[in-house]
Chains A and B, each alone.
Chain A
């Protein structure tokens, strides 16, 4: 269960303050597949990094299963990032001189998993994201953008987190591969009760999610989902 309460993030640029996240509140039940759409620069990535404990909000709080991130010391936040979430970055952020498998194994290594177990799980995940087995041992900087994106998705799933935050996970993929990834994510939420929040420009993807949000000038509104009626969603924050 993910609960966001009056979240605000402001940046100062010169004498102007911008608010890419302005009083955002919502709740997601465990196992929900949700999407956020919005124009470029509307604050989607900023919101996601707050939820992923990569950034600290100016005000407001994020509660994960009732536990507040606001008061957490750095070491607990690290534990949360390692065990609680999987993050797919818009820029992938893989370690360039390591192979695809090594990158996927990293979070498992940090979690103390044994090497043999790490390796077999990493291979399995790379197969799930349909990375050509011949490229598993290839270094990241020798992979295409779409291949890197799929490695990033596999890495996010490595420690079987309760929450996956994915920033445009299909942005670099062809339609067919994109659809496969969407299938993968929805089966994850369905079968493994993983909460998944996807930022996307892809209408098709958004339409397949349980709940759809729109971010506009820092404010979040929920749209009626064709997959599930909007009535189950909490009232959107007043505009």
Chain B
């Protein structure tokens, strides 16, 4: 019988107690791992939010965002200039159109005056007719805005309007926030720098008009085909369609002009400097550079606090595990003082005695960790989604406030490990990938090393202290 065999035997000497110790350790270690997974999930969510929104700058013609009406339109040259600014990773030009169907246009005309340039806060956008019907009816704000669009016409006549449909010509398959369009059906438009009769429709807009992939509709009496459907996550965001840039420019009769440049910066850290550089490069009299989605910072910061809370919980759970094993080992050594005396009396070296108890502690911790990993693979999915879903409300709330530029609601793709209801093996696998593929294997390593370290110290120190006493005193007992 070797030291190791003896240690394993000793670990199971009192089976009930061993089971209890392993169970408590499993809960603590499992909680620690689950918190780590939650931490990584939230971190992933935060960086996704930052990546989708935080790194996008929007360039509009100077004054275009206010009531002033704007100066010169943006051009392809300016897009080239913007692309040359340091840290800018991509520039997508966009031209926006407002689409109205014949009845809505008539109603508006009846309300007084021709359809004018943009609503309050709106950007300059040409208005053209379409066969489509808007999927969103104007609420109080919308009605007021639409009424105000007209002249100071008779207010009584203006009772109900549907919102215009936003058509945006884009130079790449991105939405107006610079985020890749999430297609739910069909395909993209291929070359976005060439004219095309294809269009991408928001899901609700397509539904309202009974259109699917391959269906036809008209804009300005020209026939278009639905190439794909996208889901922007909000009602306003889905009451929109995307065309290729040249197509939109032709429809607006503004060839070469851009209403917006969507500029993506390579990292969050460079956004501020890139914004300044971009503004300087384009000139303050020619263009406004704005950072979209200030609202989202709230969501991001509340997610960040969840992230730090889950990290604290990870450390606390790990510390609990350490404390448990420390107390157990101190207790075990005390209980077996006499045995230590015997071993010492028949010539066991201190290191042999120390090793025996350390191995015993490691057996307990290893069992606790294995059971803890099983606990975590079941619990972490639930914990992570609980932590984030309470926050997704905040995030989508903020996105809703930000209107159609909002982030898509719901869970991020590549979601959270060990979703409840998943099979245990899959859960464990996902736990493993999510924990090991996470950004901080060092944290896991350090955490586990800490628990093992505490276990070693908890076993070694009392065992050696006991071994140092004269054997006869230990053998005689208290």
Contact = CB atoms under 8 A, between A and B. Distances in A.
A227 B467 CA distance: 42
Nearest to A105: B1
A91 to B, nearest CB: 8
A202 interface: no
Interface string B450-478: 00000000000000000010111101000
Q: Which of B2, B342, B468 has the most CB of A within 10 A?
A: B342
Given A54-B475, A56-B470, A97-B10, A81 B345 contact: yes
B346 A75 contact: no
A56 B471 CA distance: 10
- B-side interface mostly: helix
B266 interface: no
A110 B1 CA distance: 11
B470 A97 contact: no
A67 interface: no
Contact of B347 (A89, A97, A105, A110): A110
Interface string A151-187: 0000100010000000000000000000000000000
Nearest to A46: B472
Given A93-B475, A95-B339, A97-B13, A106 B346 contact: yes
Contacts of B3: 109
Q: Which of A75, A81, A94 has the most CB of B within 10 A?
A: A81
Contacts of A107: 346-347
A82 interface: yes
B342 A94 contact: yes
Contact of A78 (B9, B350, B473): B350
Contacts of A105: 1
A94 to B, nearest CB: 7
B344 A78 contact: yes
Contact of B348 (A94, A96, A110): A110
A75 B9 contact: no
Given A97-B9, A109-B1, A110-B352, A54 B346 contact: no
A197 B9 CA distance: 35
A83 interface: yes
A74 B347 CA distance: 11
Contacts of B6: 98
B17 interface: no
Nearest to B342: A93
Contacts of A6: none
Given A83-B347, A94-B342, A155-B346, A109 B2 contact: yes
A169 to B, nearest CB: 16
Contacts of A52: 345
B299 to A, nearest CB: 59
A223 interface: no
A36 to B, nearest CB: 17
B348 to A, nearest CB: 5
Contacts of B345: 52, 54, 81, 87, 89, 93
A49 B470 CA distance: 10
A78 B342 contact: no
Contacts of A49: 472
A118 B3 CA distance: 14
B346 A102 contact: no
A136 B142 CA distance: 94
Contact of A95 (B342, B350, B468, B472): B342
Interface in A104-145: 105-107, 109-111, 115
A106 B346 CA distance: 8
Interface in A25-69: 49, 52, 54-56
Contact of A81 (B2, B347, B475): B347
Interface string B139-178: 0000000000000000000000000000000000000000
Nearest to A53: B471
B201 to A, nearest CB: 76
B163 to A, nearest CB: 81
Nearest to A94: B342
B470 A54 contact: yes
B13 A87 contact: no
Interface string B331-367: 0000000110111111111101000000000000000
Interface of B: 1-3, 6, 9-10, 13, 338-339, 341-350, 352, 468, 470-473, 475
13 contacts: A52-B345, A54-B345, A55-B470, A55-B471, A75-B350, A89-B475, A93-B341, A93-B475, A95-B339, A95-B342, A97-B13, A109-B1, A109-B2
10 closest A-B pairs by CB: A82-B347, A55-B472, A54-B472, A81-B347, A54-B471, A93-B342, A49-B472, A102-B1, A107-B346, A110-B347
Interface of A: 49, 52, 54-56, 74-75, 78-79, 81-83, 87, 89, 91, 93-98, 102, 105-107, 109-111, 115, 155, 159
